[in-house]
Chain A
Amino acid sequence: MQLSTEQIIIFLLSISTMLFFAKLFGELFSKIRLPAIVGEIIAGIILGPTIFGMIFPEIYSWLFPPLDETKIALDGITTLAVIMLLLVSGMEVDLSVVLKYRNTAVSTCLIGILIPFGLGFLISFFFPDFMGLEFTEMRLAFSLFIGTAIAISSLPIIAKILLDLDIFKTQIGFIIIAAAMLNDLIGWLIFSIILGMIGANDHGMSFSTTLLLTILFVLFMLLVGRRIINRLIPLVQDKISFPGGILNFILILGFLGAAFTEYIGIHSILGAFIMGIAIGDSAYLKSRTREVLQQFVTNIFAPLFFVSIGLRVNFIANFDPAIVFTLLAIAFIGKVSGGSIGAKLGGMNLNNSLAIGFGMSSSGAMGIILGVIALQSGLIQETVFVGLVVMALFTSLTSAPLMSIFIRKRTDIPSKNY
């Protein structure tokens, strides 16, 4: 089976269209100081069956054919995109920072996860019909998933907010970043376990085997693999032309990690994410390498993925106000209270704690990626997916202004002794 000339042309046109609209909306949103990713997702919703597909159904199904090889090729690209996105996200997670600010960061993160997770889990478990569950045998996994999707925070959005408020390089900024990094790690681990539970693998592995292999993989990569990679990076940087050699090396490792976790029945992205953490930890890795990779992924691959979200679903037809509203309410109540209580218990004052709570409330890209995977694996239906995307968009837009109510200027915060 191979693509015909016409299919190749359509495939290239669809990618160009996606990239063009992603950049257009991404830039527009950045210009008005809103997260670019929100613009990219909205570009997808406009291009997809919700608006463009509704108005010009024929052109839409010509450009984005629903069922042929072009669709498979496009799916391949978006899978690659999300793997690279998670690899880069992992590289930004710095466990030594988490450790340094552990006193406040761990409680902020854990309580910040526990409360929204608990709320999401309980509501979905006891009111599964209301939350749009179709297959009752998946009730436990479904409820765990909703809890996780609500509890996960978005590091890039949080980082951007801190930067805009000019509190990025301050102690409170670092605590929030450390908590968000830990949140990412825990969120992905829980999600992987849920995927193992619903038996997403095709190799007939039992849940306990998957779980055991996942734990072993994570421990091995974070304790031993990290050190091996740290020894290899200077070799690659010295012996092979820079930055080509090291970029190549990072992507190979990322894809291998992704292949491994896909094989053991969780999702490829966990492997890429954990591999990213192991690579990003190396002191030898030049900051330019990170930046080049980040540019390349955030400007080319990530937009393709974010636009593709809008192409999957009709957002108007699947908009269920009850689900959207409930998810938003749980996200706000759970995440803001969880993050704030955690920060307060960790020794922050009330204003800063509330700021942290609001800062941690955006689920951004991470929440959406979780949603896409859950939709693909049949764990959730379109209505819940739309609810999750709306929740992610809404919280990404609101967390900055809400946070700024509690932190006005940088002089409030000592920035020197961190």
Chain B
Amino acid sequence: MDTPFKKLALAVTFSPTGKALLKETKRLKELFNSELILIHIGKKTKDSEKKLIDTIESAGLSAIENEIIWEEGDPANVIIKRSESADVDLLIAGALQKESFVKYYIGSVARKIMRSSTCNVMILKSPSENPVNFKKFYVSIDFTDGGKRTVSTAYQFALLEAAAEFVVVRDYNIPALSTAILDSGSIEELDILKSKYQKEEEAYMKEFIDQMDLKRIEIQTICIYGKEGWEATKLARSNNADIFAINVPSKKLKFLDRLFLHEAEYSFENLPSNLLIIR
């Protein structure tokens, strides 16, 4: 079976969730049959080295077989840079718990990785020391090549997990639609137009999925009219998805995107589940 990711990297910390993250990563490494690089940010001393090795081994991973990178500096920058230079195709990191209003603007390590990494990223929302398979996959798409890449990567992942649910969601917005209609039309006209656009989106979606020829898991498709980025995130959250996959253009998200909410920011800001970001 094809593996979607050949080389993983994990940002290892001594945080309370550090061990759980290592255990989750171990499971993924075995699932994908991939290489693993462990990146630790901090000063390398005898004590800290021993502590790190103990942590890694307590999770059942070998501290010898897996490459360990030690580096000092700004955690997010170093993690991003090292995973890029090592050609990692999935960078794994743990999420911080809900951040405060002020911290949002400053940005945390996980946020910075989500926004700025050029490789694929998986953010584990609440890693467990007894990891289990991911059963419910929700994939948010637009009808672009990036969207296609996201579906096919998530699909391979879901196959390996023997996932029970694979849902492809498209949320679309039509700015100023009610202005256009309601200046001289009625709410009924607006509803008629909305349902026309809905059918159009559903037809595009069918064509998009059919072209990809994915037959081994049943794919559910959903198109939702509403705020882009938000509706799909909301759906994944309310249906308790295990993985929510999104496509984010590989250019870095700028400060402006954060202020005025690029669609991906809705899931960055409040993770609906574990988040898989495909670049």
Residues of A at the B interface (CB closer than 8 Å) are: 26-27, 29-30, 35-37, 89, 92, 94-100, 155-157, 159-160, 162-163, 168-169, 174, 177-178, 180-181, 223, 227, 281, 283, 287, 290-291, 294-295, 298, 415-417
Residues B178 and A294 in contact, CB atoms below 8 Å apart:
yes
Q: Give bound CA distance, A155 to B257, whole Å.
A: 23
Q: Which residues of A contact B227 (CB under 8 A)?
A: 283
Q: Identify B183's interface contact among A35, A168, A417, CB under 8 A.
A: A35
Question: Given contacts A26-B184, A227-B101, could you give 13 more A-B pairs where the C-beta distance is less than 8 Å?
Answer: A35-B183, A96-B260, A99-B256, A99-B260, A99-B262, A155-B179, A159-B176, A159-B177, A177-B175, A223-B259, A283-B227, A283-B266, A298-B182
Which A residues touch B226, using CB under 8 A?
283, 287
A373 CB, nearest partner CB in chain B, Å: 21
Does the CB pair A416–B190 fall under 8 Å? no
Residues of B within 8 A of A155 (CB): 176, 179
Contacts of A98 in B (CB 8 A): 260
Residues of A contacting B204 in the complex (Cβ-Cβ under 8 angstroms): 416
Contact of B175 with A97 in the complex, beta carbons under 8 Å? yes
Please provide the 9 A-B residue pairs with the shortest distance between their CB atoms, ordered closest to farther: A159-B180, A36-B184, A30-B184, A283-B230, A163-B180, A97-B175, A283-B227, A159-B176, A95-B260
Nearest-CB residue, chain A, relative to B230: A283
Q: Which of B144, B179, B257 contacts A156 (CB 8 A)?
A: B179
Residues from chain B with a CB closer than 8 A to the CB of A287 are 178, 225-226
Q: Kindly name the residue among A35, A36, A283, A291 whose own CB sees the greatest number of chain B CB atoms within 10 A.
A: A283
Q: Are A156 and B177 neighbours in the complex by a CB distance under 8 Å?
A: no
Q: Are A92 and B176 in contact (CB under 8 A)?
A: yes
Pairwise interchain contact B183-A99, C-beta atoms closer than 8 A: no
B70-102 contacts to A (CB < 8 Å): 101
**B101, B182, B263: the one within 8 Å of A295 (CB):** B182
Q: Which of B144, B175, B183, B266 is close to A181, meaning CB atoms less than 8 Å apart?
A: B175
Q: Which residue of B lies closest to A95 (CB)?
A: B260
Which chain B residues border A29 with CB–CB below 8 Å? 184
The docked-state distance in angstroms from the alpha carbon of A294 to that of B187 is 10
Contacting pair B180 A99 (CB below 8 A): no
- Does B212 count as interface, using CB distance less than 8 angstroms? no
Contact present for B143 and A294 (CB under 8 Å) = no
**B217 part of interface (Cβ distance < 8 Å):** no
Kindly report which residue of chain B lies nearest to residue A97, judged by CB atoms: B175
Is B181 positioned at the interface, with any CB of A under 8 Å from its CB?
Answer: yes
Within 8 A of A (CB), among B183-215: 183-185, 187, 190, 193, 197, 200, 204
A223 CA to B183 CA, complexed, in Å:
30
Neighbour of A96 across the interface among B183, B187, B263, CB < 8 A: B263
Considering only CB atoms, which chain A residue lies closest to B180 in the complex?
A159
Q: Which residues on the B side are within 8 Å of A96 (C-beta)? A: 228, 260-263
A301 to chain B, nearest CB (A): 13
Note all chain B residues with C-beta closer than 8 A to A37.
183
Task: List chain B residues, Cβ under 8 A from A283.
Answer: 226-227, 230, 266
| Residues of A with C-beta under 8 A to B181 | 163
Bound-state Cα–Cα, A99 to B260, Å: 8
- Alpha-carbon distance between A367 and B241 when the two chains are bound, in angstroms: 49
| Interface residue tally for chain B (C-beta within 8 Å) | 36
B176: chain A residues at CB < 8 Å are: 92, 94, 155-156, 159, 177, 180-181
B232-279: which have CB < 8 Å to A?
256-257, 259-263, 266
Contacts of B162 in A (CB 8 A): none
Contact residues in A for B187 (Cβ distance below 8 Å): 291, 295
Residues of A within 8 A of B144 (CB): 417
CB-CB nearest in chain A for B191: A291
Residues of A within 8 A of B193 (CB): 163
Distance of A178 Cα from B256 Cα, bound (Å): 16
Asked if residues A290 and B175 are in contact (CB atoms below 8 Å), the reply is no
In the complex, how many angstroms separate the beta carbon of A261 from the nearest chain B beta carbon? 22
Q: Chain A's nearest CB lies how many Å from the CB of B172?
A: 8
The 9 sampled A-B contact pairs (Cβ below 8 Å) are A37-B183, A94-B173, A96-B261, A97-B175, A160-B183, A178-B175, A181-B175, A281-B261, A295-B182
Residue of A nearest to B263 (CB): A96
| Most chain A CB atoms below 10 A, which of B177, B182, B190 | B182
* A58 smallest CB distance to B (angstroms): 34
A92 touches B179 (CB 8 A): yes
- Say yes or no: A92 contacts B178, CB within 8 Å: yes
Closest Cβ–Cβ distance, residue B193 to chain A (whole Å): 8
Residue of A nearest to B254 (CB): A99
Roughly how many angstroms separate A379 CA and B119 CA in the complex, as a whole number?
Answer: 57
Report whether B262 and A159 are in contact in the complex, using a CB–CB cutoff of 8 Å.
no
Q: Which residue of B lies closest to A89 (CB)?
A: B179
B57 within 8 A of A: no
On whether the beta carbons of B183 and A97 are closer than 8 Å, the reply is: no
CA distance in complex: A78, B207 (Å) = 51
Q: Does B35 contact A (CB under 8 A)?
A: no
Q: Are A294 and B179 in contact (CB under 8 A)?
A: yes
Is the CB–CB distance between A294 and B175 below 8 Å? no
Collect the chain B residues with CB atoms within 8 Å of residue A281's CB: 261
Asked whether, in the complex, the Cβ of B142 is within 8 Å of the Cβ of A174, the reply is no
**Contact partners of B178 in chain A: CB under 8 A:** 92, 287, 290-291, 294
B169 to chain A, nearest CB (A): 15
**For the complex, what is the distance from the CA of A21 to the CA of B181, rounded to whole Å?**
21
| Residues of chain B contacted by A417 (CB below 8 angstroms) | 142-144
Q: Is B164 an interface residue (CB 8 A)?
A: no
Kindly report which residue of chain A lies nearest to residue B226, judged by CB atoms.
Answer: A287
User: Does B31 make an interface contact (CB < 8 A)?
Assistant: no
